[in-house]
Structure 1
Amino acid sequence: MSFFAFRRRLSQGDEFVFQTLIGLVIGMAVAVIVMMFHELIDVAASASQFEDWPWWQRLLLPIAGAIACYALLQRHQNRAQLGVGHVIETLHRAPRHWPVTNAILQFLLTPVLLASGQSGGREGPAVHLGATFGAWMTERMHLPRNNLRVFVGAGAAAAISSTFGTPLAGVAFAMEVVVMEYTVAGFLPIIAAAVAASWLIGILVGAPLVSIPDLSSMQSPDLGWVLVLGLGSGLISAAFNWVVRTTAQHRPRFGVIWAGVICGAVGVFVPDVMGDGFYVLGDLLATPSVWQLLVLLLVCKLLVTGLSLGLGMPIGFIGPLLLMGAAWGALVGLASGAPDPLLTLIGMTAVMGGALFAPLAAVLAVIELSQQTDLILPAMTAVAIAILLHRLLGQEGLFVHQLADAGRPLALHRSNHPMHHLGVDAAIRNNVVQINRRFNGLPKPADVVVWGVGRRQMRAMEWLEFVKASNELAPGSDLATVIQGHTLERMHNDATLAEVWAHTRASHAQGAYFRHPNGRLNGIIWRTQLEDQFQ
């Protein structure tokens, strides 16, 4: 197969073998990156058993960490967009170059914030790192940009799979939360990345980076308590989203510093609210607790994390959502008279699924973490009720709402348009002849005739149209002045058809032309081709 035939298959999304191989590479690389990221967090937070800290340390360290964060973000304001929300916006805006330095800032900042006791999580930042690596691979290999969302999704799935050892949930998370669509072409590379990441972490570490107690021998919970669990999970996820959005709408100056003050003040009295809380999560799954402490943990974690996010603290919140859900599930277990870790597990994922609007990821996480297919029905029931109530209370996925509230709403009907899945080579017309601007007779026959009129602009006509127009031309005539032609704007060979359509429409051009790296004309695409086929 020639290189150009290979690129055409990539542009059409048909090169499954190569995409799958790249997915495997991304999965293994992201596994190593995320493992290093977790190790850095664990080293930075090695002394972070917050209940052992003196009260003044629990008060002052979050404030100090917030001040350092504020100073860093002020110094790098053009790189201050971090986390899964940034990944979603960047992917669906489809910039020419993916911002890699944001991910480097995320890699260094998250351990500092968690070690200082900020209430947040590490999973969202890990997704940011994985997605950025997938985008970086796409750009470095000069692949057609219709592959971008596939490999960004592969990186995101690998990050979740590495963290929890849940490849299926990682794939669903990438599709539901990041890419926001399911496509047959994208499944195989994303599955390959998730599986490769999980296998490599198993070989290098021997267990998922965030471990969950063994729940495989537990009995499926009673359906009545599952209904209660789903209702409460919907209320909690809706309340959390409301707190985040309301706080963001009334964010004061120095919001990040105020977030540190709130976390420190609450942490003095409730140290379990600090950090990502995974050691607390393990305790909730392993042993029952006192209901008063569970209520206190749930309320404080919801308020502190929600206020911190709304005030602009650049930290993940998937971990806190899991902890809130675990506290609620443990409460339901206590109310049932027989504390049940499976209710705690289902509560974790139901709250997360409601807040992120990711039902399939939540259900698959329950199955993979518990290793029990018998939990499909109770998990689906709780998650469905939680998401339904979440929607009835006027909330949607938090990432989407955050972007809309910031005045940057996603236009999914455009960003998920079929033209984003196809590259230039899927529609380019290669039977094109370029002639000199000064008319010197008819060239050899071709489908389209083009001539230059500027540094990055050409004009073109269909062959028969040009032949007819050239009948009255004298030798040496300036084609730019005597023939109107159709305006073509130069674009890069890696562009998607959606980018071609948007650029030509914005510049009022009738099409775009493309050159090989050696400067030779590659071909053209008429804007009417795209409008006729896709509009």
Structure 2
Amino acid sequence: MNFIERWRKGDLGSDDLLVLSGLALVCGVLSGLTMTSLVMLLLWFASFILPTHSESYELLPPEFRFLLPVLACILLAGIWHFLPKRHLKVGIPYVVERLNYHQGNLPIINAVVQFVGALIGLMGGLSIGKEGPAVHIGATFGSRLAQRFRLSYIGVDTLVACGVAGAIAAAFQTPLAGVLFAYEVIFHEYRLRLVLPVLLSSIVAMFISEGLLGRFDLFELGVLKLPLYDFSMLLAYCVLVVLIVIASSLFYQVQRWFWRFGNVSPWVRFLFVGVVTGAVGLLVPQVLGGGYDSLNVALTGGNFIMPLLILIIAKVVLTSLSIGLGIPGGMIGPTFVIGGLVGAQVSLWVDTGLLPATEMSLFVLLGMAAMMATTFQAPLTAMIAMVEMTHTSQTIVPAIFVIVLSCTAIRLLFNQDSIFVERMNALGLVSEWSPVQRLLRQQDLRNVAQKVKVLPAILPLERIRDLASNMVDYVAIKAGDAYFLVSAPEMLDKLKQLDLGPQAWLASDGDQQGMDVLMALQGKEVRVIDSSMPLPDLINWLHKNNQSQVLVQYVDAGSFWLVTSHQLNQMLFKE
């Protein structure tokens, strides 16, 4: 209720629920509008190029199917050639890198490059998704808001999570999956204490998406009847698990092989992607673009013109090729398609004798969820995304069974983590911190500090007497550009010496008598740092500079806080 007064005094914590909720609302609006604009631009472009709908590449003339991805890759290569290298880092691994190594500071120019690059790639029919760009762009909105309001690391983390969740929710209209994606894939942990702002951002972004685009119906699902659970059904699920594990491992290994060519000229890399994609599109046009139309054929029980195994292999290779060679796109959409096609193939292979006429729909949904969960090690995200995108929860129980087996098998048999973690490891970067470092990064500096008043070197005697009623331990004396830490009780003791007669430290402050504090007391010079430094970096700074205390300045609030090694040790032992 005293929010305005606390804001004026600078006493608000960076994890204050009202502050974060307000910024989360802004973040959700920005993420929702941006991702909605991306989808609307793609639909507008498809209305001019594609005959019937945004996935109907197979209806294009053969020469168009070849030239479209080639032209898109030439345009991307031109952009990548002329822009500075520092602006070309995009995607989810880059977001995690900035969180771990740069206090979550995401440059806006990289997000613009990500938006434009993804738009060109998606328009060109490349086998990529829009969720990677969504994550990067949403995270950038959260990061810029946090930097603008000078929040500490925990506030930056929360707003980045708000941006990620909002962008995913707007791109797919899956608010819960957006929240879970932020915590499972980006942060690798659940942060329930600050989940409310993230939920707010996600739901606001989804409302904007639905209001401007209408409700998404990516998948047309008919009536689904779950079969009985017996040995034959469990055997069918196990076959699905085996194929999902193989597909996920292949998806990673192909990308890993292409990562070694990251330093090759973008003209060579991107043109190779365009030519291969165009050539495959001549033979298997169903794999161009998102490929959701192939899933809808499977979900509605339609017939495939092309053998499913060829579609699966082509989709795995094209997506791995595009992402592995640096095309700015996402992988969630393609993994859904790959997993769904694998499930459709299993439903054709396995005859349990118990499955009704719609059994293919069941295995398609299970394959979608399992492939996403296995590739990104995000089981809850995959399950909730499947439910929200298909508007049915009938498959949750078998989905849990298949997801658990798939995620466990990929770790035990292939020692494979999330593909984003593997990419970070390949770059020699840390994808997640140790428990101690994580604890430190979640702490607001003001939780382990005490507020300090900054006073002038010549201090009126009345102001010194006021320190007794304020119960202040230390004050900081500013002399020029330097700051000196002085004990308030010692200042009061010096003041009592006036009873014995005039003192050498007496000085005039206008019409009043004052104390030359630095003459009266031996003040200890203390360094000043900016509040944007996270706690682990602050501890390293203290050790590196052989300091036991430091003043932390919150420029926007005009306040100073004293952090000492003793306070930090107490906090660590307590936690």
Partner of 1:410, secondary structure, is coil
Distance 2:483 2:321 in 1: 54
Q: Is the 8 A contact 1:325 1:344 kept in 2?
A: yes
| Secondary structure, aligned partner of 1:312 | coil
> In structure 2, what is the Cα distance between the partners aligned to 1:518 and 1:83?
31
Q: 1:62 to 1:202 in 2, by over 3 A?
A: closer
Cα distance in structure 1, aligned partners of 2:223 and 2:186: 30
Cα–Cα, structure 1 residues 169 and 401, in superposed 2: closer, same or farther, change >3 Å?
Answer: same
Percent identical residues = 25
Going from structure 1 to structure 2, the CA distance change for 1:12 and 1:152 (only over 3 Å counts) comes to closer
C-alpha distance in structure 2 between counterparts of 1:63 and 1:437, whole Å: 73
The alpha-carbon distance between structure 1 residues 50 and 12, as it changes in their structure 2 partners (threshold 3 A), is: closer
CA RMSD of aligned residues (A): 3.5
Give the whole-Å Cα distance in 1 for the aligned partners of 2:278 and 2:220: 30
Count of paired positions: 529
* Structure 1 counterpart SS, 2:163: helix
Give the superposition deviation at 1:495.
Answer: 4.9
In structure 2, the residue matched to 1:491 is 530
Cα distance in 2 for residues equivalent to 1:159 and 1:50: 26
Q: Equivalents in 1 of 2:420, 2:58: separation in Å?
A: 32
Q: How many Å separate the matches in 2 of 1:469 and 1:305?
A: 75
* Cα pair 1:172 1:361 within 8 Å, conserved: yes
Q: 2:438 aligns with which of 417, 431, 435?
A: 417
CA distance in 1: counterparts of 2:455 and 2:130, whole angstroms: 54
TM-score, length basis structure 2 = 0.81
1:23 maps to 24
Gaps of 5+ in 1: none
Whichever residue aligns with residue 266 of structure 1, its letter is V
- 1:59 and 2:98 aligned: no
CA shift in 2, pair 1:270/1:465, >3 Å: farther
Give the equivalent residue in structure 2 for 1:274: 288
Q: Which moved more, 1:461-470 or 1:394-403?
A: 461-470
The secondary structure found in structure 2 opposite 1:340 is: helix
What SS does the aligned partner of 2:307 have?
helix
Secondary structure of residue in 1 paired with 2:106: coil
Normalising by structure 1, report the TM-score: 0.87
Q: Deviations over 1:47-73 (max 9, x none)?
A: 243323343333333233222212212
Counterparts of 1:493-512 in structure 2, within 5 Å, are 495-512=533-550
Structure 2 match to 1:513: 551
Cα gap change, 1:63 to 1:491, in 2 (>3 Å)? same
Counterparts of 1:291 and 1:380, CA distance in 2: 32
What are structure 2's unaligned runs of at least 5 residues? 51-55, 352-356, 498-502, 508-515
Q: Which has the larger radius of gyration?
A: 2
Instruction: Name 1:187's counterpart in structure 2.
Output: 195
Q: Work out the CA distance in 2 between the residues paired with 1:513 and 1:217.
A: 63
The equivalent residue for 1:366 is 386
1:201-240 equivalences in 2 (<5 Å) = 201-208=209-216, 211-215=218-222, 217-219=224-226, 222-240=233-251
Deviation at 1:361, TM superposition (A): 0.5
1:433–1:100 Cα change, 3 Å: closer
Q: Does 1:248 align with 2:265?
A: no
| Matched-pair contact (CA < 8 Å) for 2:244–2:370 | yes
Q: CA 1:159–1:63 in 2, change beyond 3 Å: closer, same or farther?
A: same
For residue 195 of structure 1, report the CA deviation from its aligned partner. 2.2
Trace 1:409-448 onto structure 2 (pairs within 5 A).
409-413=430-434, 417-432=438-453, 434=455, 436=457, 446-448=472-474
The one-letter amino acid of 2:409's match is: L
Task: Give distance in 2, aligned partners of 1:151 and 1:87.
Answer: 13
- Counterpart of 1:123? 131
- Following TM superposition, by how much is the alpha carbon of 1:379 offset from its aligned partner in structure 2, in angstroms? 0.8
- 1:145 is displaced (CA, Å) by 4.3
- Render the CA deviation track for 1:293-320: whole Å, top value 9, x for unaligned: 2100111111121122222222212111
Partner of 1:394: 415
The alpha-carbon deviation at position 378 of structure 1 amounts to 0.7
Equivalent in 71, 76, 82 of residue 75 of structure 1: 82
Q: Does 1:525 align with 2:548?
A: no
Q: How far off is 1:458 after superposition?
A: 3.6
Between 383-392 and 50-59, report the one with greater CA deviation.
50-59
Partner of 2:428: 407
1:258–1:311 contact (8 Å) kept in structure 2: no
- C-alpha displacement of 1:464: 6.6
